[in-house]
Structure 1
Amino acid sequence: MSTKEDQTEGERLAELAKRRGFFFGSNGAYGGVAGFYTFGPQGAALKSNIEAAWRERFTVREGNYEIEAPTIMPEPVFEASGHLDGFDDMLVECPDCGTAHRADHLIEDATDVEDAESAPIEEVEDLIIEHNLVCPQCQATLGGEPVDSFNLMFETNIGPGSASSGYLRPETAQGIFVEFPQIKQYARNTLPFGVTQIGRAYRNEISPRKRIVRTREFTQAELEQFIDPERDEPALDEVADITVTLYSARQQQADDGDYIETTVGEAVESGLIGDGWIGYFIGIAQEWYETIGVDTDRFRFRQHLSGERAHYATDCWDAESEVDGDWIEIAGFAYRGEYDLSKHAEYGDDEFSIFQEYEESKTVERAVVDPDMSVLGPKFGSQAGEIKTALETLAERNPDAFSEETVDVSVDGEIMTVDVEETNFHIESKTVNGEHITPHVIEPSFGIDRTVYTLLAHGYREDTVDNETRTYLSLSTKVAPTDVGVFPLISNVEQLVEQAKDIVSELRAAGLSVVADDSGSIGRRYRRQDEIGTPFCITVDRDGIEGTDPDTVTIRQRDTGRQVRAPIAVVTELIQSVQSDEIIFDNLTDAYDAVEWANKSE
């Protein structure tokens, strides 16, 4: 059995998470299922607080709209989005034990290759042979085994039978894109506007790993910012001076590549970050991560290499945190262009564009057709109407096609030839007040579960108190699962117990999360709260009931262990003020008596 000193950071986190109720493998009574985790009382509270902090920053403060779309969507949605054809990982199966492995992860874990995910399948097969990779389960040789594409979506049926296929969504974004025709009306058809969503997503991972880092069900917080690329600019001045650590694609590929410490403004101005909107959201994210407690010395923004980027993304950066010696993606920032809305406009039956009015009316020349249906009808029969529509579309997109005596259009896969004279093709001048445009999309996408894992890792601390090792989580007061612990110093003194109960009631009425604990020594109670990251502990003792300072309690700060004695009447106000950064705890000693930190007992 390994000692605490022998454990890796990940092992320490897993042990703490299960023991203190942050997260643990689901369905243990039935043997468990890889890739699914249950968040316990502390983890669920921490996760909920992170979501609330994200909502406050990216929805409320940005003035965006929030929706909640279904987690199951019909198959045509994912045909349009490209997930049916391209949402794949590389799978290799062990010939002996039959275990399925994600091929690129095997390579990255066992070699110096860092971006196997972006390599073509043939190259991945060659790398497995070159490095003599074996099955982690049974050590059988994997060289020469085929590497196949495996679609990650969970399929289901909507309604009885199999008539209507559906899928659990692999990302929350499609729910926003599909509902764009409705949401744009709430935005009064005016760009720019943003839409956010926090919810569950599902990916049938080949080999889930690293606990809640790569799972089959997880929570995303996504923002889709819809803009007119010709008119809309971000408020870059608001984030220009924020310092960020960037790991550009060029630096990743250089032999002596290194991080670039710069500001958002300088990075955008120099072209290091290729788009101002991406820079804007990177700046906001940097500040937000600092606020909730991410260690900035273990945090960076890494630019996607060309092989990693989705084909529609002109630029993409990941926010990454270092945990247990590895860098994990905790957010992505992508310029998706008009790809998503254009695809849903092509496949769907609705309007995925917005009418943008000009500042002044314009006179423009447009190619139009007005086919003579008395000719087309007898000539083409029931297809005449579809031919008319095809001719109108062709005239708008390619007027030069009408420069010959005949013009060809495709109807139901069949080429139809029409005399240009019969189309009544002509150029006309028209005064227009605006045009329909397909908005471009900038997408910041955050992994909430991975953020939970990051905060636990970055907040984990050990020190020595009373010659004993103390473990505590230095979590931000913005996200800590419990705000305050309240203890009667002695559990069998009724006056202390009743006073503690009154304080608990008052704090809870003020909206604070409170744990009441009267079990064990005061030192053990402090340790329990320290280990779940509770920022403050309030102790009711005899000195504050019948001593020289009646109606007072001690307030203890988690990280330093410093304590002050303050009147019960102001306890709630003080806790809320420190939480909101109106005052800092150390300054309380200017107004209240400091108390020597000791495991006091009576």
Structure 2
Amino acid sequence: MTKESFRDAVIKTLEKRFFYTPSFKIYGRVAGFYDYGPPGVAVENNVLAFWRQHFVDEEDMLEVKGPCVTPEVVLKASGHVDKFTDLMVKDEKTGTCYRADHLLKDHCKDKLEKDVAISSEKAAELMHILAVLDDLSAEQLGAKIKEYAIVAPDTKNPLSDPYPFNLMFATSIGPTGMSSGYMRPETAQGIFADFKDLYYYNGNKLPFAAAQIGQAFRNEISPRQGLLRVREFTLAEIEHFVDPDDKSHPKYSEVSDLEFLMFPRKEQMEGQSAKIFRLGDAVSEGIVNNQTLAYFIGRVYLFLTRLGIDKKRLRFRQHRQDEMAHYAADCWDAEIESSYDWIECVGIADRSAYDLRAHSDKSGIPLVAQEKYAEPKEVEKLVIKPNMKELGPAFKGDQKLVIESLEAMDEKEAMEMKVILESKGEIEFEVCKLQKTVTIKKNMISIVEEKTKEHVRTFTPSVIEPSFGIGRIIYCLYEHSFYTRPSKDEEEQLNVFRFNPLVAPIKCAVFPLVQNDEYEKVAERISESLFAAGIKYKKDITGTSIGKKYARADELGVPFAVTVDTETSVTIRERDSKEQIRVNVDEVAKLVKKLSKGRTTWADISQKYPAHNTNLADCAKDLAVRMLTSP
């Protein structure tokens, strides 16, 4: 089976069983938007519940929830307004828009895969372009599109030069439309803006982590790849605040012996493949920057593999120097292999102190932490002394806000202001809280270096950020869980999702072997006990054959099926092995709960309960005959 045919089988099954469907499809749909149906919602809820357990609960994180609409000033400070862009080209005749890098990527891959006469030099050139694609400027992309004579895919019309398109959905706040905002492209900025309150809530202690799950929005130019590239999606993000001078982690030893596929930048640049590393060795060799970053890499690995992601198709790829943000100390992506190739699903980055500093500068509110010294330290520092006689008349009611903004400057900014004031006599200064620029003259302040004793060290924390694309993880989980097996008569292939019970949308199916009042009463009794135990179940009392009932349950990924074939005991069937055991009716809910919660395994309970080897389909036929012929 080719990658494409496998993908088609997965998607058809997902849509058939209403895991998801294109949104608004009765109106022709809008690209990049999808609705999750009942099983899709259940899978996402189960993944998020495990995410909360694995990270928020086990790591004692502070969970917050912020609005989806973000004021422009916040995203201006973070850099999203100016830099959150993709390069776009237009069909010069129809105006249809395309992502420039996607067109170039498709061209290079098509040539490499289909052009049998391609020279080794040309192949090497195309492979190099694919390797550096994310780093090409608009001019470089445009030059390559012209060199390779790339045209609009649908019409073959010529394309415009590439130009940046901001991916955020713009909106206005309030009835006047004067206050600009955007639908948030990530959840992180709300956490950074809340840092001061979170730090206080945590007893003014570092390190600590804040977490948020929520919707994010990106106005993709030409969404494709189904659930992997959409315009609205669920993010789960963690911001772990830590002292920049101490990035050790107390629980690092719990993950340091983990071994898994890693793809450091050195191997990438040398054209090598990912290979198995021991995480502790990657830290000691300086491949991973610090213990806290490594700890989260290890925790992400455990999270994904426990969900059901195949260990052999999961790797952690380090960002190369030419693709890493200028402020980042190190960055790794958890990439999962799918029919679409390797897909970035989690980013784990040491963002240094960039975000808090950016919001401190823009808001005028210092987002800092403090460490008390055992003994006071004598230090030299720049001190800003305002001249109230000059500032008062100049700024009147705004005087207090101007002074607060001046005093919030760091030493570098204060020194730059001192130099300009001494050379020019005045400087333009932005007061964030007033949202305007004022003129500061030399006689209004003095900036002097003084010796002083400090009792505390004030610093801006660094941030380690794991960011999870939940929809991408779930889609890869669908592919990693999907397989087919022949039906009993081998005339057709049956679709199965081998979901881990942890994430399965329905944990247990319940059905009578045949339509029978007594059996249906037993099925109802079992259903009530499952409900009382908090187990998601599905009951089927239709007259459909037992084989078809199993097939329908397998196609939904239901791990266990209870078949009522007597009034006192029933069988429990395991989805993938198709093995069955016989248990008393009153034990069903307890056993299914243990299995669903991972407190026991099928191998364990199959040793404790008698196997049921009867062919249930034949049994159903025999029973039906007996019922029809009995007096």
Q: Same fold (TM over 0.5)?
A: yes
Conservation of the 8 A alpha-carbon contact between 2:563 and 2:571: yes
Q: Which amino acid aligns with 2:210?
A: V
Name the CA shift for 1:554/1:26 in 2 (closer, same or farther; >3 Å). same
1:264-275 equivalences under 5 Å are 264-275=279-290
Name the CA shift for 1:40/1:369 in 2 (closer, same or farther; >3 Å). closer
* 1:513 maps to which of 495, 519, 536: 536
3-state DSSP class of the match of 2:582? strand
Name the CA shift for 1:524/1:438 in 2 (closer, same or farther; >3 Å). same
- In structure 1, what is the Cα distance between the partners aligned to 2:591 and 2:219? 47
1:96-495 equivalences under 5 Å are 96-111=93-108, 112=127, 113-114=129-130, 115-142=132-159, 145-234=160-249, 235-255=251-271, 257-368=272-383, 370=385, 373=388, 376=390, 396-397=411-412, 406=422, 408=425, 410-412=427-429, 418=442, 423=446, 425=448, 427-430=450-453, 432-468=454-490, 469-491=493-515, 493-495=516-518
- In structure 2, what is the Cα distance between the partners aligned to 1:201 and 1:583? 37
- 1:56 corresponds in structure 2 to 53
* 2:73 maps to which of 71, 76, 82: 76
Conservation of the 8 A alpha-carbon contact between 1:406 and 1:417: no
Conservation of the 8 A alpha-carbon contact between 1:173 and 1:224: yes
* 1:67 maps to which of 61, 64, 69: 64
* 1:539 maps to which of 563, 570, 575: 563
* 1:94 maps to which of 91, 94, 99: 91
Moved more, 127-136 or 313-322: 127-136
Name the CA shift for 1:26/1:396 in 2 (closer, same or farther; >3 Å). closer
Matched, 1:571 2:588: yes
Q: Which amino acid aligns with 2:262?
A: L
3-state DSSP class of the match of 2:486? strand
Matched, 1:499 2:522: yes
Name the CA shift for 1:497/1:438 in 2 (closer, same or farther; >3 Å). same
Q: By how many angstroms is 1:253 displaced?
A: 2.2
Q: Which amino acid aligns with 1:529?
A: A
Q: By how many angstroms is 1:417 displaced?
A: 5.9
* 2:17 maps to which of 9, 16, 20: 20
- In structure 2, what is the Cα distance between the partners aligned to 1:314 and 1:333? 11
Q: Which amino acid aligns with 1:591?
A: K
- In structure 2, what is the Cα distance between the partners aligned to 1:467 and 1:528? 16
Name the CA shift for 1:597/1:68 in 2 (closer, same or farther; >3 Å). farther
Q: Deviations over 1:42-81 (max 9, x none)?
A: 1110011001111111111011011110000111111111
- In structure 1, what is the Cα distance between the partners aligned to 2:246 and 2:570? 59
Aligned length: 585
Q: Which amino acid aligns with 2:369?
A: I
Q: Which amino acid aligns with 1:456?
A: Y
3-state DSSP class of the match of 1:593? coil
Counting aligned pairs with the same residue, the percent is 35
Conservation of the 8 A alpha-carbon contact between 1:105 and 1:116: no
Q: By how many angstroms is 1:403 displaced?
A: 10
Q: By how many angstroms is 1:436 displaced?
A: 2.1
**How large is the Cα RMSD of the aligned pairs?**
2.7
- In structure 2, what is the Cα distance between the partners aligned to 1:403 and 1:127? 46
Name the CA shift for 1:438/1:500 in 2 (closer, same or farther; >3 Å). same
Name the CA shift for 1:526/1:410 in 2 (closer, same or farther; >3 Å). same
3-state DSSP class of the match of 1:410? strand
Name the CA shift for 1:502/1:125 in 2 (closer, same or farther; >3 Å). same
Q: Which amino acid aligns with 2:288?
A: I
Conservation of the 8 A alpha-carbon contact between 1:372 and 1:424: no
Task: Identify, as 1 or 2, the structure richer in helix.
Answer: 2
Name the CA shift for 1:387/1:298 in 2 (closer, same or farther; >3 Å). closer
Q: By how many angstroms is 1:521 displaced?
A: 0.6
Matched, 1:8 2:24: no
Q: Which 5+ residue runs of structure 1 have no aligned equivalent? A: 546-550
Conservation of the 8 A alpha-carbon contact between 1:537 and 1:558: yes
- 1:555 corresponds in structure 2 to 572
Conservation of the 8 A alpha-carbon contact between 2:247 and 2:290: no
Q: Deviations over 1:431-483 (max 9, x none)?
A: x3212211111100001111110111000011224233222101111111000
Name the CA shift for 1:589/1:356 in 2 (closer, same or farther; >3 Å). same
Moved more, 272-281 or 170-179: 272-281
Q: By how many angstroms is 1:336 displaced?
A: 0.9
